[in-house]
A and B are shown apart, each in its own frame.
Chain A
Amino acid sequence: MNLTDREILELNELCNAMVDGTITDAQHARLSTWLLESEPAREYYVRAVGQSASLHSYAAEMHAEAAQPEPISFWSWSRRSVWIAGALAAAACMAIVFLAVGQRFHPDVRSPNSKSPVYVARLSAARETKWSGSDSLIPGALLHKGQHLELAKGFAEVTFDSGARVVLEGPTSFVINSAWDSTLTHGTLKASVPPQAIGFRVVNRSVDITDLGTEFTMSANADGITDVLVLKGEVEAAPRSADDQNTILLKESDARRFEVSGVSTVSKNAENFARFAEFEPVNRFSSDFHYAHWSFDETSTPMLGRYAGAVTNREITGALEGAPANLAQARTGGQWQQALRFDGELRARTSFPGLSELTPHTISFWVKVSEDSPLSDAYAMVAWRANTPRLAYRPVQISWNRNPNEGALGALRTDFSGGCALGTTSLRDGRWHHVTVVVTPNEEASIPLQVKQYVDGRLESSTIIPGRFRGPAGVADAEMNDVVWLGCRLGNTGPRQERFRGELDELYIADRALAPQEIVQVMTENRIPASAIARADAPTTVAKF
């Protein structure tokens, strides 16, 4: 059945929103349903989105032709090659491979081109470990993209920033590819993947395992023969054998052997299942730290917070700033009891000891932004000013993205001197979202912070877009140190007139990088888990970080 004119108009609008990155959840659901149920709708969608692909192509060709002639550097070649490869027919296949695996198409926009390591995981626990080569890792050690772990003996647990946890049993050779991806070269591992890390992968030369929320073990020998046993839930296994690359769904208690020659069943070895079920290390990383919590529930003093740690527990003060009429309407129902409503006039201030220093911190809160919130209300939800020349004494601001050229409109955005981090989920949908931003110092001068952003407990981004425009640097100002501003844009010398409009609830700030599972616990239980706070008399493995 053909589409009516009215349906075509609606479908056209949905396709435009999809291509422009402005699609709302409701629109996305509507489009998905349509594409699921109607072949004419699918055909219209493919033609309309295909037209945008063609427009990208024509625009890039004209753009390239208009550009000044220049020597074809590797990067200019890479950026253009999508569209004008015809002019470069002499390039060899190896060049394609080098280009593709070595860098991205837009390193100048998307990638920090970082010389310093990008940390994506942590060694969270260990037992009787012995590392090969020069490695000498202890619990708490940060692990970077591309890092090879050569565990000669013992057990080591790696917690990825995505929340996935992998226990290695030596001898094992393991590579950390990203927060979502790893390679088991040989050895044995057990992976535990919570819901927020669904999609985590472990690959090797025989099979790609994509976890669908589960626990599984994987054991590979030097020849690549790999046994996979699913302990809980299910995984998707894509064999890499030449003959059979059909994906296999493995469910609880399923086991398969993957090798270059094909896939075979494995006798369900009860001893193996039992052994892996108790496959746990003991020496778990913990560190002393402090945190503050503002619930916004106190009627007379909504900005009263509590600052706590292993041996500390005291109040922390703050204030709402605005006209009496704004203050009277500042309280509203929140995700947990009461929340603060920022109406475009109101702002608030409080403090957190040490926040302005270039040390690890975690900032977490609930936020609700209306679906029709104008771009002019997209200023900082939470902001503070850095007290370090490495951040040019400029503010760090957490807001939602109002620049569709740089990322999804409404997505979580953290700006600092040197760049910004951008998420993907739009916060601008009238619903409560839990937001966590983890900032840690970076060794590289041009990008002094690593920023990891979690939305609703799920890691969204850890890539920094380098800043292209910088205003004047600030100067040291003790008055501004450690002051936390809510609901307003922050300049080098103090708050500006631009405001955030929306609601905030349950603000937590901690002076260390919380682990993914701790972030989920803060979200679901509205408290810092007791296990995360080291007792004063308990030995700590690594201080902070």
Chain B
Amino acid sequence: MSLSSESQKQLMALMTRHQRQIFAYIYTLVPRRHDAEDLLQETSVVICEKFEEFTPGTDFVAWACQIAYWRIRYSRQKYARSKVVFDQTVLDLVARTATTLAPELDARHEALAVCLQKLNSRERDFVLTRYEPGSGVEEAARRSGRSLDAAYKALTRIRKLLFDCVSHQMAPGGTA
């Protein structure tokens, strides 16, 4: 790869701005953090390799997500042994829906920040601990003093609260 200095700057700017959206797209298809991060990493390599083919001014996220989609297909043998992967037909359908909803997911991401602030601090800390790098449900349960079973129940409740709050924010008349 021999990107010019200007291209490198452009690429970094685009990746900086849109990496989260590419990760979200991958995560909807492979909803395990480590696997999704690996795929994001692999996708980044291909994006670098093919960046000269990208037309400035066109939709970078859509272009990058298409590359991610093919990386996921190529990596299917790795995930075929896991429960968290769908067969090709379902994968294609979900990928199509994820592409269609990409703008909405962006808005939902912003609205989620507002909804997180509406949680009480104990619940907010709990749910963010669950999603912290290197953490998980067990660690969140330990830190919050809940049993594992209670932690799963609390997570279900808080996620639904957040989901409904975000949907409310997104509705006409909402604040999002």
B152 within 8 A of A: yes
B117-171 residues with Cβ-Cβ distance < 8 A to A are: 127-139, 148, 152, 155-156, 159-160, 162-163, 166
Q: Are A46 and B98 in contact (CB under 8 A)?
A: yes
Contact yes or no, B20 A83, CB < 8 A = yes
With an 8 A cutoff between CB atoms, is A54 at the interface? Answer: yes
Given the known inter-chain contacts A42-B97, A375-B148, A426-B83, please indicate yes or no for A51 contacting B159, CB distance below 8 A. yes
CA distance A414 to B173 in the complex (A): 55
**B12, closest chain A residue (CB):** A89
Question: A166-208, CB under 8 A of B: which get 1 and which 0?
Answer: 0000000000000010000000000000000011110000001
Give the interface centre of A23, A63, A247, A425 by most chain B CB atoms within 10 Å. A63
In the complex, A62 has a CB within 8 A of chain B:
yes
User: Quick one: which of A215-250 are within 8 Å of B by CB?
Assistant: 238, 245, 247
Whether A55 contacts B16 by the Cβ 8 Å rule is no
Assuming the contacts A21-B32, A180-B78, A426-B83, asked whether A51 and B162 have C-beta atoms less than 8 A apart, the reply is yes
List which A35-62 residues lie within 8 A (CB) of chain B.
Answer: 35-36, 39, 42-43, 45-60, 62
Q: Is the CB of B78 within 8 A of A32?
A: no
Contacting residues, chain B, for A460 (C-beta < 8 A): 81
Contact between B156 and A52, CB atoms less than 8 A apart? no
> Cβ of B86 and Cβ of A32 under 8 Å apart?
yes
Kindly specify which of A92-100, A259-267, A474-482 makes contact with the partner chain.
A92-100
The one of B48, B84, B137 in contact with A405, judged by C-beta atoms closer than 8 angstroms, is B137
- Spot the interface stretch: A10-18, A298-306, A323-331: A10-18
Contact pick for A55, options B13, B32, B128, B139, CB 8 Å: B128
Enumerate chain A residues within 8 angstroms of B87, measured Cβ to Cβ: 32
Contact pattern, B 102-122, Cβ under 8 Å of A = 1, otherwise 0: 001100110011001000000
Measured between alpha carbons, how far is A518 from B42 in the docked complex, in Å? 34
Encode contact with A along B68-107: 1 for CB under 8 Å, 0 otherwise: 0010011011101111101101100110011001001100
Contacts of B41 in A (CB 8 A): 99-100, 104-105
Which residue in A45, A100, A180 is a CB contact (below 8 Å) of B42? Answer: A100
B131 partner residues in chain A, CB cutoff 8 A: 52, 55-56, 58-60
Interface residues on chain B, number (Cβ under 8 Å): 79
B136 touches A105 (CB 8 A): no
Bound-state CA distance A62–B117 (Å) is: 13
Max chain A Cβ within 10 angstroms of own Cβ: one of B42, B113, B128: B128
Q: Which of A52, A58, A91, A106 contacts B37 (CB 8 A)?
A: A106
Cβ contacts under 8 Å, B3 to chain A: 93
Is the beta-carbon distance between B89 and A36 smaller than 8 angstroms?
yes
Partner of B94, one of A45, A52, A101: A45
Chain B residue with minimal CB distance to A27?
B83
| 0/1 string, B7-35, CB within 8 A of A gives 1 | 11001110111011001100110011110
Would you give the shortest CB distance from A206 to chain B, in whole angstroms? 15
Report if A341 contacts B (CB, 8 A): no
B15 proximity list for chain A (CB < 8 A): 85, 96
Determine if A424 and B128 form an interchain contact, defined as CB atoms under 8 angstroms apart: no
- In the assembled complex, the Cα of A93 lies from the Cα of B4 at a distance in Å of 10
Question: In the bound complex, do residue B137 and residue A20 qualify as a contact, i.e. CB atoms below 8 Å apart?
Answer: yes
Residues in chain A near residue B109, CB distance under 8 A: 50, 54, 57
User: How long is the Cα–Cα vector from A127 to B43 in the complex, in angstroms?
Assistant: 41
Q: Which residues of chain A have C-beta atoms less than 8 A from B1's C-beta?
A: 93-94, 97
- In the assembled complex, the CB of A257 is this many whole angstroms from the nearest CB of chain B, namely 21
Please give the distance in Å from B167's CB to the nearest CB on chain A: 8
User: Complex Cα distance A179/B129, Å?
Assistant: 35
Residue A524 at the chain B interface, CB threshold 8 Å: no
Contact surface of A with B, Cβ cutoff 8 Å: 12-13, 16, 18-23, 25, 28, 32, 35-36, 39, 42-43, 45-60, 62-63, 79, 81-83, 85-86, 88-94, 96-97, 99-101, 104-106, 109-110, 180, 198-201, 208, 210, 238, 245, 247, 375, 403-405, 408, 424-426, 455, 458, 460
| Cross-chain pairs A/B with CB under 8 angstroms, 21 sampled | A23-B83, A35-B86, A45-B28, A47-B105, A51-B162, A51-B166, A53-B27, A54-B112, A55-B127, A58-B131, A59-B128, A60-B133, A62-B128, A96-B45, A100-B42, A198-B80, A210-B74, A238-B74, A405-B136, A408-B82, A455-B81
- 18 more A-B residue pairs beyond the given contacts A20-B137, A82-B23, A89-B13, with a C-beta to C-beta distance below 8 A: A32-B90, A36-B90, A45-B94, A45-B97, A46-B105, A50-B24, A51-B162, A55-B112, A56-B23, A83-B20, A88-B16, A100-B42, A106-B134, A180-B77, A404-B137, A404-B138, A424-B82, A455-B81
